[in-house]
Amino acid sequence: MPKTLLIKNGTIVTASDKYVADIFISGERIHTIGKDLSVSSDQTIDAKGNYIFPGGIDAHTHMELPFMGTYASDTFETGTLAGLHGGTTTIIDFAIQTQGKSLKSAIDEWHKKADGNAVSDYAFHIGVTDLNKNTKLEIKDIVKKEGISSFKTFMAYKGALMIDDRQMVSLMNEVKKYGGMVTTHAENGDMIDELISESKINGNLSPKFHALTRPDIAEAEASGRVIDMAYQGSHPLYIVHMTCEAALNRVREATKRNQKVFVETCIQYLLLDESLYESQGFEGSKWVMSPPLRKEKDRIALWNGINQGLVHTVATDHCPFCMEQKKMGLNDFSKIPNGMPGIEHRLELLYSEGVLKEKISMNKFVELTSTAPAKIFGMFPKKGTVAIGSDADIVIFDPNVKHTISAKTHHHNCDYSAYEGWKVQGKCKTVILRGTVAIEDGKALIGKGVGKYIERSPYNKDYAEEKELVRSL
């Protein structure tokens, strides 16, 4: 007999509904949702006064990423556990090809890091850094056998990750045959490399020059260019970590020719700005990431873009480095490992700063953090909603608890917090992963290896957009 769990009296919120009901979970999936359910269960939770929403899906993380001469400091174990504390039950991490090696070897490498270690569920995007005739031949099997339908490209980081436009077009044309979608880090790598080189010649080496050498126009230009490349072949496209008004306007422009482009932003680009790079001494290195934090006007454009339907998901780009690692660039900003921690705080920050400040609705909150990534990346309705037949990945959220974010209390394997001292209201009180209580009042009840690898379906326009779906019970 599968174990059973009954959650009573919670306010269930999905991307479209908000209502009070009970949820009966049998084994790993939601069995019944109804008013005043009278069933016996192994465990009962009274969720009166709390929200119940689907477990978060963070579509952009980098656990143990080998990058800029070091490794991101969270492993799949520590990083997914931090995510669970903050209500994220599934991540999509990037398995990144080493130039000169096959795509399959990257997938094998990432499985070695994640399998038996991840605490939450996980899936992979494949990062294509070296497209040639052999790697092209691998694409079909990656979609059909590996359960990976999104192909990440970099338009920056030349010499390590960047591909050129010809490779981009070729990749788009190839992945389309099998229902894959290209996703892109859109920054003009050549423009940036020249600006970095000039900055260094002029002796401008402190962290703030990281931002000054990666201007918004470099992001806008690359965004516009990749949008055009997708348009030429009527390809779906997902732009990762968009930061600014100038890039968003390229997306807006594309809608005038009826092109649909999926846009991800990250919680830091909604909440933080470039003034942090002026922090004393080397402090600014904490927020050195690419693209960098922007101006207040860009944050406003992103919030508006959400409500205009131009921004579809909010992720984290979780890629932490401890201060000792950041110090690799103490005397040269271009050597500071790019990235910052954030997976644990995405939901609580977006609720506090977005929902409570009336920038977004509660339904939009669920859509951005769970439903849209599930649909766009081929996991819906297994993931991304609270519905009969879906995986019982559930957050019981107390909207009244106030707390302060700090490196002293977070679960990231990182010795600083990018949000140190931020006061938030609302807490992921109970987090349930496939029917098992994973987090209860700040305590982890599960550990290493409980997370499952999630094979994703090919990109499907109807799934990614608004079509009704049939669940198997």
Q: Indicate whether 208 belongs to the interface with Zn ion (CB under 5 A).
A: no
Q: Which is nearer to Zn ion, 148 or 433 (CB)?
A: 148
- Residue 294 binding target from Zn ion, ligand URP, none, CB below 5 to 8 Å by type: none
Full DSSP string of 135-155: HHHHHHHHHHTS---EEEEES
Q: What are the φ/ψ torsions at residue 16 (nearest 5 degrees)?
A: -125, -15
Q: Closest approach of Cβ 223 to Zn ion, in Å? A: 13
Q: Indicate whether 210 belongs to the interface with Zn ion (CB under 5 A).
A: no
CB 121 within 8 A of CB 451: yes
Residue given tokens 């939009």 in the structure block: 364
Q: Indicate whether 93 belongs to the interface with Zn ion (CB under 5 A).
A: no
Count of Cβ atoms closer than 10 Å to residue 170 Cβ: 16
Q: What are the φ/ψ torsions at residue 460 (nearest 5 degrees)?
A: -140, 120
What is the C-alpha to C-alpha distance for residues 374 and 385, in angstroms, rounded to an integer?
9
CB 116 within 8 A of CB 463: no
Q: Which is nearer to ligand URP, 338 or 371 (CB)?
A: 338
Q: Indicate whether 125 belongs to the interface with Zn ion (CB under 5 A).
A: no
Q: Closest approach of Cβ 156 to ligand URP, in Å? A: 8
Residues contacting 177, CB < 8 A, separation 6+: 139, 140
Q: Closest approach of Cβ 434 to ligand URP, in Å? A: 28
Q: Closest approach of Cβ 175 to ligand URP, in Å? A: 20
Q: Which is nearer to Zn ion, 221 or 317 (CB)?
A: 317
What is the C-alpha to C-alpha distance for residues 327 and 337, in angstroms, rounded to an integer?
9
Stretch 128-187 residues interacting with Zn ion (CB under 5 A): 185
Residues forming contacts to ligand URP in the complex (CB under 6 A) are: 62, 185, 289-290, 317, 319, 338-339
Nearest CA to 307 out of 342, 374, 354 is that of 354
Q: How many residues does the chain have?
A: 473
Q: Which is nearer to Zn ion, 117 or 268 (CB)?
A: 268
- Residue 338 binding target from ligand URP, Zn ion, none, CB below 5 to 8 Å by type: ligand URP
What is the C-alpha to C-alpha distance for residues 418 and 407, in angstroms, rounded to an integer?
9
Coil, helix or strand at residue 396: strand
Q: In this chain, which residue has its C-beta nearest to Zn ion?
A: 185
From candidates 58, 64, 317, 391, binder to Zn ion by CB under 5 A: 317
Q: Closest approach of Cβ 220 to ligand URP, in Å? A: 17
Q: In this chain, which residue has its C-beta nearest to ligand URP?
A: 338
Q: Indicate whether 346 belongs to the interface with Zn ion (CB under 5 A).
A: no
Binding site for Zn ion (CB under 5 A): 185, 317
